[in-house]
Amino acid sequence: MLNETLSKKRVHWPLLSKRGCLSCHTPHASTAKGLIRGSLSDACAACHKDSVARQKRSPTKHEPVDKGQCMSCHVPHASDQVFLLAQPSVIDLCGKCHDWLKHSSHPLGDKIVDPRNKNITVDCLSCHRSHGTEYKHFIYFATTSEMCTQCHIKFKR
């Protein structure tokens, strides 16, 4: 496990710190699975309390975040993806729970270039912030028209 972890592009830095494994685990006993210190959300929130607080303020709740199921999307030890995401494709990752293809045909995927930045493609995070925003459906703007016209500029009023 250690060799595989340390060979990834992104290692969760606390693992390499002075406290190492004890940053998140308690070695003797715990009521939580994996000998985590407290619940998984407590362990993650010890450092990432901003993300937890963001979800609390969000009018629309994202269930895995709201219930502290951080490992629904993240790999806590190491990953080759940014933000220690569990899969290379954000669309596939969100698609584990959200079968958006059945109700949406908005272009998404590796071949759809984001008009705002030619180095990235359009995926779920282009419009939604998974830990929550102060707006409904955790989009980045107060209204859907403000959101949509970030790319569809000709429709801006």
Minimum CB separation from another protein for residue 57, in Å?
A: 12
Q: Does 35 bind another protein (CB under 8 A)?
A: no
Q: Does 86 bind another protein (CB under 8 A)?
A: no
Q: Does 8 bind another protein (CB under 8 A)?
A: yes
Residues 105-144 that bind another protein (CB under 8 A): 117-120, 125, 129, 140
Residues 51-70 that bind another protein (CB under 8 A): 51, 54
In terms of Cα–Cα distance, which of 91, 71, 75 is closest to 83? Answer: 75
Q: Does 13 bind another protein (CB under 8 A)?
A: yes
Of the two residues 40 and 84, which places its CB atom closer to another protein in the complex?
84
Q: Give 77-80 contacts, CB < 8 A, sequence gap 24+.
A: 77/1, 77/5, 77/11, 77/12, 77/15, 78/4, 78/5, 78/6, 78/8, 78/10, 78/11, 78/12, 78/15, 79/8, 79/9, 79/10, 80/8, 80/9, 80/10
Distance (Å) of CA 74 to CA 5, 18, 78: 14, 23, 9
Q: Does 38 bind another protein (CB under 8 A)?
A: no
Q: Is 64 in contact with 70 (CB distance < 8 Å)?
A: yes
Minimum CB separation from another protein for residue 140, in Å?
A: 7
Of the two residues 97 and 120, which places its CB atom closer to another protein in the complex?
120
Binding site for another protein (CB under 8 A): 7-10, 13-14, 16-18, 47-48, 50-51, 54, 82-83, 117-120, 125, 129, 140
